[in-house]
Chains A and B, each alone.
Chain A
Amino acid sequence: GQNIDQPTEMTATEGAIVQINCTYQTSGFNGLFWYQQHAGEAPTFLSYNVLDGLEEKGRFSSFLSRSKGYSYLLLKELQMKDSASYLCAVRDSNYQLIWGAGTKLIIKP
């Protein structure tokens, strides 16, 4: 079966750094996506990795290791508005998106 695992909930402090991990087992791999979703709102695209390595976009970075079936999303200089759910999704060999259950990130002052 296809499976994506990410922690259910994480807590971090404003101004700090947090890393959200995602491990996956899918039938084929055609890219990994990270989305941010605030409660009651639509998911917002954050990053896309298809090759191994680190992709940096301002305060957010995403890393991929295809051999390990592993990715992480790194958030730096945390702000209160970063409190949200972070969803990891993998595009499989049929080009369908397989979604993780999401990680709820709580930022404390």
Chain B
Amino acid sequence: DTEVTQTPKHLVMGMTNKKSLKCEQHMGHRAMYWYKQKAKKPPELMFVYSYEKLSINESVPSRFSPECPNSSLLNLHLHALQPEDSALYLCASSQGLEYSPLHFGNGTRLTVT
């Protein structure tokens, strides 16, 4: 069982919808990540939060908006997405940014119609 919980597991949304992905961890980790993964490709980093502050934004379009309300929660707000944004969205956490491994949640399978 994963200790990083993501909701929802599946999401279908239209291009005009606004939705949010949620991620929660209770391992006391101080770094949290959003990744996007297309089929048969490795995960692609989107955002990194360290101590609740955004430390890395990998030139992600503004239709994706991250939020870190506290050290245990991470959200990804979605608005006006495109069909090519359909992918598996993975949340991960680690003790810190430096040496510790990332622990992934089970992901949200997003389909944009």
Contacts and interface: CB of A to CB of B under 8 A. Distances in A.
Interface of A: 30-31, 33, 40-45, 48, 50, 87, 89, 91, 95-97, 99-102
A97 B99 contact: no
A41 B107 CA distance: 7
Summarize B's interface: helix, strand, loop or mixed: loop
Interface of B: 2, 40-43, 45, 56, 88, 90, 97-99, 101-107, 109
A34 to B, nearest CB: 10
Contacts of B88: 40
Contacts of B106: 41-42
B42 A45 contact: no
B105 A42 contact: yes
Given A42-B90, A101-B41, A102-B42, A95 B98 contact: yes
